[in-house]
């Protein structure tokens, strides 16, 4: 294990991307994530304060993290969330500060978030049809989400704004044409994400996955595509419509794992460091932090955890075990 320099894991991968969950709470109940009745929420005292998040992020940036994405649960339900964005925007060394949101509260917060320093935004929208959106999210919220998307889209410095749709068999097939129209008629980049085994209901099966290749073929039956070069450590295969009108992407963690050059860490809302989305083990940072650990001690804990980062996630392999946390409790 390296004692200094940028973070590397035991497989030689340089770690430069951090996903920070700021809350486990969410105002939606998406079928691929949460039960209809929701989940038990963490107590307020269990969740990292803004100051604790900022300290850990600043330390990780000094260790080589360059990109920070804020997630949840739903991050915009965290009280005074733009204040945290401003604190992190002031951390020297962050090249990209971004947000993933369901968009429900985005209309009222978009201007404040941009002023605070957010640089990129992903909005999760799984259907562009109001009744089907309600069916999947269990919330009649599509008009408000689309207003939020429009509100962030008017800021020219926030580019690209990405629209993320989880692809589920016998559901998303009917959404392809609408999402193509969205991608071709706006500056938004649509990305389909394969359904992953991170649902609290444990209903995931391989058969429920509408894979990226199938989706690409559905798109190409309507509009020809041209693949763009994949950037190192990118999660998406991105295509341009052949006539130049917009882009569409496919994130295929189940059918085409991109573990080989994974550069990501995750920090949960209560201060656990996860080295893989599907980790079965976590490293506690909140305990040492609140016990008065100095940066040197925290750095040693982080380096040891990163060195043990998993080589791959093993989804679709014999013996795969779904992590005990659902997606909402991990952070995207």
Q: What is the CATH number of the domain that holds 150?
A: 3.20.20.70
Containing domain of residue 247, as a range?
Answer: 17-330
- Does any domain span residue 7? no
* pLDDT, tens digit, 9 for 90 and up, residues 232-289: 888 899 999 999 999 999 999 898 888 988 999 999 999 999 999 888 899 999 999 9
* pLDDT, tens digit, 9 for 90 and up, residues 178-230: 999 999 999 999 999 998 877 667 777 888 899 999 999 999 999 999 999 98
- Does any domain span residue 118? yes
- Tokens representing residue 153 in the block: 């889209």
Q: Return the pLDDT at 2.
A: 66
Residue 205 bridge partners (DSSP):
none
* pLDDT, tens digit, 9 for 90 and up, residues 65-119: 999 999 999 999 999 999 999 999 999 999 999 999 999 999 999 999 999 999 9
- Does any domain span residue 9? no
What does pLDDT average to over the chain? Answer: 93
* pLDDT, tens digit, 9 for 90 and up, residues 23-46: 999 999 988 888 778 888 999 999
Q: Return the pLDDT at 199.
A: 67
What is the mean predicted confidence (pLDDT) over 42-61? Answer: 97
Give yes or no for residue 332 having a pLDDT over 70.
Answer: no
- Does any domain span residue 178? yes
Please state the separation of Cα 36 from the chain's center in Å: 22
From the list 54, 57, 55, 65, the residue with the least C-alpha distance to 6 is 65
* pLDDT, tens digit, 9 for 90 and up, residues 104-118: 999 999 999 999 999
Residues 18, 200, 178, 105, CA torsion sign: negative
- Does any domain span residue 316? yes
Q: Distance of CA 242 to CAs 48, 124, 176, 226, 318, Å?
A: 46, 25, 17, 6, 39
What is the mean predicted confidence (pLDDT) over 127-138? Answer: 96
Quick check: helix, strand or coil at residue 135?
helix
Cα 55 to Cα 60: distance, rounded to the nearest angstrom: 9
- Does any domain span residue 8? no
Give yes or no for residue 329 having a pLDDT over 80.
Answer: no
What percent of the chain is helix, strand and coil (3-state, nearest 5)? 35, 20, 50
Cα 6 to Cα 29: distance, rounded to the nearest angstrom: 38
**What is the Rg, in whole angstroms, of the alpha carbon atoms belonging to the chain?**
19
Contact yes or no for 325/19 (Cβ under 8 A): no
- Does any domain span residue 12? no
User: How do 283-284 and 272-274 pair as beta strands?
Assistant: antiparallel
Give yes or no for residue 11 having a pLDDT over 70.
Answer: yes
Instruction: Please tell me whether the peptide bond between 160 and the residue prior to it is cis, using omega within 30 degrees of 0.
Output: yes
Cα 120 to Cα 233: distance, rounded to the nearest angstrom: 17
- Tokens representing residue 268 in the block: 């949960």
Contact yes or no for 82/32 (Cβ under 8 A): no
pTM assigned to the model? 0.94
Quick check: helix, strand or coil at residue 241?
strand
Q: How many domains is the chain partitioned into structurally?
A: 1
- Tokens representing residue 116 in the block: 């605070």
Quick check: helix, strand or coil at residue 51?
helix
What is the mean predicted confidence (pLDDT) over 120-145? Answer: 96
Categorize the per-residue pLDDT at 231 as very low, low, confident or very high, splitting at 50, 70 and 90.
confident
- Does any domain span residue 10? no
Categorize the per-residue pLDDT at 305 as very low, low, confident or very high, splitting at 50, 70 and 90.
very high
Helices (H), 69-137: 81-89, 106-116, 130-137
């Amino acid at each position: 294990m390296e004692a200094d320099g940028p973070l590397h894991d035991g497989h030689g991968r340089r770690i430069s991307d951090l996903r920070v969950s700021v809350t486990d709470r969410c105002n939606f109940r998406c079928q691929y994530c949460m039960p209809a009745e929701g989940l038990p929420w963490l107590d307020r005292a269990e969740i990292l304060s803004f100051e604790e998040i900022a300290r850990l992020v600043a330390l990780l940036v000094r260790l080589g993290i360059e990109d920070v994405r804020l997630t949840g649960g739903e991050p915009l339900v965290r009280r005074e969330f733009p204040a945290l964005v401003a604190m992190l925007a002031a951390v020297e060394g962050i090249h990209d500060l971004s947000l993933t949101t369901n968009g429900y509260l985005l209309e009222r917060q978009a201007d404040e978030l941009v002023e605070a320093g957010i640089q990129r935004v992903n909005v999760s929208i799984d259907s562009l049809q109001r009744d089907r959106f309600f069916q999947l999210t269990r919330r009649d919220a599509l008009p408000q989400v689309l207003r939020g998307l429009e509100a962030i889209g008017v800021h020219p410095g926030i580019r690209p704004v990405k629209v993320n749709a989880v692809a589920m068999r016998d559901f998303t097939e009917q959404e392809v044409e609408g999402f193509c129209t969205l991608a071709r008629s706006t500056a938004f980049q649509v990305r389909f994400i394969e359904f992953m085994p991170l649902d609290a209901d444990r209903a995931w099966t391989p058969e429920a996955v509408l894979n990226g290749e199938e989706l690409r073929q559905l798109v190409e039956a309507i509009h020809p595509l041209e693949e763009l070069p994949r950037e190192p450590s990118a999660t998406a295969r991105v295509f341009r419509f052949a006539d130049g009108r917009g882009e569409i992407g496919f994130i295929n963690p189940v059918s085409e794992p991109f573990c080989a050059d994974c550069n990501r860490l995750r920090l949960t809302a209560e201060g656990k460091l996860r080295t893989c989305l599907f980790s079965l083990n976590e490293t506690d940072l909140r305990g040492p932090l609140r016990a008065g650990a100095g940066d040197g001690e925290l750095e040693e804990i982080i380096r040891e955890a990163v060195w043990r980062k998993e080589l791959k996630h093993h989804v679709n392999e014999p013996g795969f075990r779904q992590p005990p946390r659902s997606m909402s409790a991990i952070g995207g």
